[in-house]
Structure 1
Amino acid sequence: MARPYWKGFLKLSLVTCPITLTPATTEGEKVKFHTLNRKTGERIYTRYVDSVSGKTVEKDDQARAYEKGEDDYVVLEEEDLDAVQLESTRTVDIAQFAPADSVDWTFLDSPYFVVPDAEVSEEAFIIIREAMANEHVVGLASLVLGGRERAVMLQPWENGIVLWTLRFGDEVRDENEYWKEVEEAPVDKKMLSMIEQLIKDRTTKWSEAFVKDPVQDRLLDIIKSKKTHKGKPKPAEAEPVDTGGSNVIDLMAALKKSLEATPEKETGKSRRR
């Protein structure tokens, strides 16, 4: 079990309880690489260097700055950055609620599991969670994480609460700018029914198997083979694709072929499952 990333308090009006936040996702299992000097086999480290002199800049001499124009910077000190943070960095104070389905998914950033930090706080935690679930709402609050003030959303989830950090408004693009490029046209009813049949034939229960990382598995295989065998493993040869001598796809023919090739239609078992 992962260690808590953050400890503090969950507050709703006069109801307060100690909580912990733990990241709901992890990249600990991902294959990670280091950069080596091929000649010596030693690791290479990144250093900040002055763009003019080329000399390494020590940490104490590094400063954060905002570029106003070409070669025109404003340096910000730590006290400047601290001045814009929340007064409290240890409390998730639920300021308001919103219907659970009203928050656009594109604003959801990183999820954290929220759990009570003490046995005496479980009752208050459960009451807040159950009340939100019964009212079909999510809580909205602000929180400082990683030295940065973030808007967060609290969502009741089974026996706990999931806290989502929310992307800032200027980070989310307006979808209408893209949808307007899609021209509206009359829909062929016969092809529509064929697509609907394809969807029915291929509908199944959600499984984590859908989100496996095949690249990661292949990398691990290569790494394993390099440990036990010297030399590069031979890459698998790709099977030739029959394009039928044309790049033009007949949509109706493709739909008919898809329906004929549906495994569930051949066995009849998958749909019953």
Structure 2
Amino acid sequence: MARSLWTGSLSFGLVNVPVQLVSAVRDRDVHFHQVHKETGERVQMQRVASTDGKEVDWEDVAKGWETDDDRMIVLTDEDFEAAQPDKTRTVDIDLFVALTDIDPVYFDHPYWLLPAGDGDGPIRAYRLLVDVMAKAGQVAIGRIVLRAKEYLVALREQDGLLSLTTMHFADELRTPDDIGAIPTGKKGKPTKREIDDAVALIGELTDDFKPSRYDDCHRVRLLRLIDEKRKNGEVEIPEHDPEPAPQKAPKDLMAALEESLATARARSKKGGGTATSRGGSKRRAKAG
């Protein structure tokens, strides 16, 4: 079982449910050490002062905030304690909303909220909340304090458990107004026929989302490359084509839509398309 990151209780009215927090994702990135290119020896990083180049001990390192007039405000761990939220071991539910009311852009990191504690009581309270939320089909909005920081969270029933997702606060998000990208006026307005063909194309490409269809191809290639270099001391490096320039909008939008629609319909009749890959000449890279 994954390691618990937090234990506490979920407050639902006068009902407190003992729970523990477990991350719902796992780190599958390929991690590396920084090493000397010629010898493979590990490279160590040192903290040095920018003016005299002397090494600074970790206990003497603080955080600094640079002001508009180039002053550096030094903040210590003790200073940060003054800004910490009240320490709490409770997820306080504020209200319930429909999942469709929450724009996915607000969601950040997913966790599982699992029952904690021994005996029938904690499990019974947990299962009661799971069943109630499943029946209501609502998402609970609340707050949690993790590692001295307060987060807005969304909780819902998922596969017989409670999931908790941290959320961005509203002022953390850039709106279309902030970036000035909203097209206005009649310039570039598509015709009804173009819209109809585009909607039909979306219909042809619509299917159920199955996450297992998608693999992290870069990680797979990277691990294969590492294994090849471990065995042979060198790897085959394909000669990649030059990076293409960004594609421009088609001169004849209607023709492009009709061709895309015809291709999608033909693929649907055949039961799906086939993946293609580009080959090329290869060169060898030797182990260092």
| Aligned positions, number | 265
| Stretches of structure 2 lacking an aligned partner (at least 5 in a row) | 273-288
Give per-residue Cα distances to partners, 1:21-80, cap 9 Å, x unaligned: 1111111x2211211111332111333211111112111101123223444233333333
Give per-residue Cα distances to partners, 1:118-150, cap 9 Å, x unaligned: 343122122223333444432222222123222
Alignment of 1:1-273 (within 5 A): 1-27=1-27, 29-118=28-117, 119-178=120-179, 180-183=181-184, 185=186, 186-235=189-238, 237-238=240-241, 249-262=251-264, 264=266, 267=269, 269=271
Q: 1:266 to 1:139 in 2, by over 3 A?
A: closer
Secondary structure of the residue aligned to 2:38 is coil
Q: Is the 8 A contact 2:62 2:77 kept in 1?
A: no
Secondary structure of the residue aligned to 2:39 is coil
- TM-score w.r.t. the length of structure 2 is 0.80
**2: distance between equivalents of 1:91 and 1:110?**
19
Secondary structure of the residue aligned to 2:207 is coil
**2: distance between equivalents of 1:247 and 1:153?**
39
CA shift, 1:2, in A, is 1.7
Q: 1:77 to 1:266 in 2, by over 3 A?
A: closer
* 2:190 maps to amino acid: V
**1: distance between equivalents of 2:243 and 2:105?**
39
Say what the alpha-carbon RMSD is for the aligned residues. Answer: 2.8
Q: Is the 8 A contact 2:176 2:182 kept in 1?
A: no
CA shift, 1:187, in A, is 3.4
Q: 1:49 to 1:142 in 2, by over 3 A?
A: same
Name the % identity: 30
Of the structure 1 ranges 85-94 and 5-14, higher mean CA displacement relative to structure 2 is found in: 85-94
**1: distance between equivalents of 2:17 and 2:243?**
62
Q: Is the 8 A contact 1:202 1:264 kept in 2?
A: no
Q: Where does structure 1 differ by over 6 angstroms across 4 or more consecutive aligned residues?
A: none
* 2:47 maps to amino acid: Y
Secondary structure of the residue aligned to 1:261 is helix
CA shift, 1:266, in A, is 6.2
